[in-house]
Structure 1
């Protein structure tokens, strides 16, 4: 049995220590940037909805509401930003981030 090859307990503990240190370094960095990631996701959603508003305006010659975009199949569902806020379409067709999605 002494000729069997494998890892010793010390080698396994060193590997676990290295993995733990790497996790301790990366997790705070990811959580620190969470707000900016959600903001960029919301900006992307607003740009996509703005494109659909423009397409609706070209087809129907009027500014749509969010409900009209969903019912006319320009959007699959009512858009909600990753931070929980909905989108609002102004009377001139400009799309912005609104309040919480339940109020939008």
Structure 2
């Protein structure tokens, strides 16, 4: 008889069990950190828009009326929405906020 070496069914089941446990542990952590990443991305985008407002004021001599005044020359349309879906706007006092 030949000595055929291979994995038994029990060994394969143990490996699948270990992989399943690792997935069960990691997936909730990844989704929890995803919202944190989106919030930090939104904060960074707001800081960038504030910098673009300052550049607009230096070039034009007056603050922009709204976020649309910055689009095309200073921002792209993708930069007016945060990664978490909030829309960036400029308030009457010149403050940038994501709503």
TM-score for the superposition, normalised by structure 1 = 0.77
In the TM superposition, residue 13 of structure 1 has moved relative to its aligned partner by 1.1
Is there any run of 5+ residues in structure 1 with no aligned partner, and where? 99-104
**Larger helix fraction of residues:** 2
Q: Output the aligned Cα RMSD.
A: 2.0
**Larger strand fraction of residues:** 1
- Matched residue pairs, number? 97
Provide the residue aligned with 1:13 in structure 2.
13
Moved segments of 4+, more than 6 Å: none
Is there any run of 5+ residues in structure 2 with no aligned partner, and where? none
CA distance, structure 1, for counterparts of residue 2 and residue 96 of structure 2: 72
Q: 1:25-104, aligned counterparts within 5 Å? A: 25-64=25-64, 65-72=66-73, 74-78=74-78, 79-98=80-99
In the TM superposition, residue 92 of structure 1 has moved relative to its aligned partner by 4.4
- Give the stretch that moved more between structures: 57-66 or 14-23: 57-66
TM-score for the superposition, normalised by structure 2 = 0.80
